[in-house]
Amino acid sequence: MLSNSGVNKVILLGIAEGPFEQKTVGGLSFLCFSIITAEQLKKGTNYVEHSEYHRVRIPEKLITPEVTALANGITLFIEGKISTTTVIDEQRIKRYNLDIVAHKIDVLGKVDVSAIKS
């Protein structure tokens, strides 16, 4: 294996949360939204629920009628890669945004989102 080679692969199973909005990055169109993943972490003798929000971008070529009909609470299986973009904010500070760019999306079902948020 070459010393400068690597793997950039993400697999997420979580619940979609809007808003679902079309955005353009570098001339390419994307559907953007968040996906919530949850896990149980052990703290001391107790287990606590830990949720993470991940920003997902779906490229225009993967946007189908099924994908555009996504709603809050839909369980999604997403395969993709991590993408980092740089933004300079109002105070002229360089910020980094970490997004998941989807390569494959499977809709699995609907879940009550309010039950996961804490």
> Is 22 inside any structural domain?
yes
> Is 87 inside any structural domain?
yes
Instruction: Work out the number of other CB atoms within 10 angstroms of the CB of residue 111.
Output: 16
Both tokens of residue 116? 């996961």
Would you say 68 and 99 are in contact if contact means Cβ atoms under 8 Å apart? Answer: no
**DSSP one-letter code for 92:** S
Residue 60 pLDDT exceeds 70: yes
> Is 26 inside any structural domain?
yes
Q: Which of 87, 117, 109, 105 is nearest to 11 (CA)?
A: 105
Percent of the chain scored above 70 by pLDDT?
87
Domain interval for residue 36: 10-112
Question: What pLDDT does 56 receive?
Answer: 92
Question: What pLDDT does 10 receive?
Answer: 93
Question: What pLDDT does 93 receive?
Answer: 94
Question: What pLDDT does 114 receive?
Answer: 55
> Is 40 inside any structural domain?
yes
Residue 113 pLDDT exceeds 60: no
Find how far residue 32's CA is from the centre of its chain: 8
Name the domain count of the chain.
1
The CATH number linked to 103 is 2.40.50.140
